[in-house]
Structures are given as structure tokens and as C-alpha cells.
Amino acid sequence: MSSRPIFVWLLLGLLAIGNQVHARGGDAGTAKPVRSLIVHADDAGMSHSVNMATIEGLEHGVVTSASILVPCAWFPEFAEYARKHPERDYGVHLTLTCEWKNYRWGPVAPRDQVPSLLDREGYLYRDNPPVVANAKLSEAEIELRAQIDRAKAFGVRLSHLDTHMGTLLDRPDLIELYINLGVAYNLPVMFTRQATLPAFQARYPALRGHDRQLLDMLDSHRLPVLSSVLMMYNKGDHATRTRNYLKALESLPPGVNELIVHCGIDNAELEAITDSAKLRDSDRRFVTDPQTRAELTRMGCTLTNWSEFRPAAERK
């Protein structure tokens, strides 16, 4: 994520119609709603610090899934880990932006094939508005396919796709491209049934008038859709952030939900890249704290990942 204004995706009390998972309750003839959670680490491949923290979360914490920034310089390091650990859950963090001041990356596709995606310095744009204003749909597709294909060429076993900085949710044709790439590669995309709700569409106006069609497309191809997505990239001391996370997780709706975190180790490398080093280190500490796992157990929240989520959708 970038240093753009912080936001939270979570509409409490939402019943995810058509996408609930149930388990039998203790009384005969009753069904108890199940709340499942994908703890998802964004930005793997961004830097060595982020890679090490993401791996720590996967191996010693509650992180169950990670998405990879394929254009970044540290992508090969994380791809090597993913290749050696195919049992874990990895997605491509589809990106058309490069938000940091001095740490920049360009496209995976040849620059002469995607000129509308580039700023004056030849890098991807720093934020979403220039992408929305300038990106040609055909060139966006070339680049996003190149990112997926590169991850596969490096031997990464993919479980899903998602969108860096939410860029692909900011223009109607980019949203359709996002969904169509999931269908074309037979991979789930991070999408939520919250997309039909006015509060969600206020944050992503490009969804208006397209939400039902997009959900129907995913359902028709039996690709899973999340009940809710939660991201809390807000500042504060670690204790306060931990309390806020746990308070939000208490109110997850039934179904499969996703918590997005950004893991990092607060060191000189990460400090040189981003002013979010301390936030990312706080996320790392949160997901690797044994108390976090204990609290999720107390809440009756079952950890899952995209690889486990998909079979439930395919059975419907």
C-alpha cells in the first residue's frame, strides 16, 4: 500500500448471501454460522525486509496467504521461497502503480508495449488517478498478464489474484479486466460481496452499475467471493493498533473474510523505502504474537486460505 489516506473495508453485520459456510451445531437440526478468516500479507517481493517479515508471518504466525509484487527487485527472492514451499498460499498483487519516492519500479512488459502506463521517468505512476486518466485498457492487460506469466515462469504456484492500492477497482473497464483475468487464468480474485452496498460503492464509485454483473460472473465460474475485507493501515502505537484489530475481528460476519496486513521489519532498508516501516513492523508483531492466535480461537474464528476457500465455491 501507499501513503494515501487510510481506509477500512469492513461493514459489520453483513450477511454474505450465497457465500456463507455452515457447520452443524450442538443441537440436532440447527446450523451454526462459521466465521473463517484469511490473514493476507500484501507486498511480498517489495524488499528483503518485507520478504523476511512475510515469511516469518507464514511460518510462525497466523498469516495464511501472501500476494507478490512481481515487478519489484526483490521478487526473485520471494519467488524462490514460494517455489520451495508450494504448500503455502500465494497470489499475484497486480500492480499498475509504484508509489514510493526513491524506490521505483517499471513494468514487467517491455516499455514500448505499455507507454500509457509510464510516467515521465519511465516508471509506473505513483498513484491511482494518473492510471485512471491515462492507462489504455489493452496496455493494462498486456502488463497484468505479463506479471501473472512471470510469476508462473518462476515456478510460483498461484492460488489467486488481487490488486495493489485498489487501482483495478477505480475504473469500470479495469474492474472488468480484473475479473476477466481471474476467469482467463482460472484463479479467484480478491472481491467481496460488500461491492453491492452503498457505503462500499461510495469508496469505489466505479463499481456502481457493475457490481451485480461482476458477482454473477464470478459465481457462474464458481470462483469464490469474500464476505468482507478488512484493512487497517492506520497509525498509532502497537498496543492501540492491536486492540483495534481485535475489536474489528470480533465483529466479522459469517462466511470467509480477509484481513489484509503489511508485514515488514523496521530496519534501515525499509526506512529508506517508506514512512510506513513502523506500521509494517507492528503488523509483523501482531500476526506473529501467540496471543493473536489465541484470541482468534476464543472468537471461534477459523483460519483458512484461498486454496481451501475455492473448493467450497466449486461445490455450490
The separation between the first and the last C-alpha atoms of the chain, rounded to the nearest angstrom, is 34
pLDDT at 220: 95
pLDDT for res 316: 62
Helix (H, G, I), strand (E, B) or coil at 236: coil
Q: What is the mean pLDDT of each run of 10 residues along the chain (316 residues)?
A: 43 36 39 84 98 98 98 98 98 97 97 98 97 98 98 98 97 97 97 93 93 94 95 92 96 95 98 96 98 97 95 72
| pLDDT attached to residue 15 | 33
Name the pTM for this structure: 0.90
Q: Give all strands (DSSP E) within the chain, no chain letters.
A: 21-24, 31-44, 65-68, 90-94, 158-163, 228-231, 255-261, 301-304
Is 13 within 8 Å of 19 (Cβ atoms)? no
Given this model, what pLDDT does residue 234 score? 84
Query: Alpha carbon 83 to chain centroid distance?
Result: 20
At the top level of CATH, which class does the domain 21-314 belong to?
A: alpha beta
Confidence at residue 95, expressed as pLDDT on a 0 to 100 scale: 98
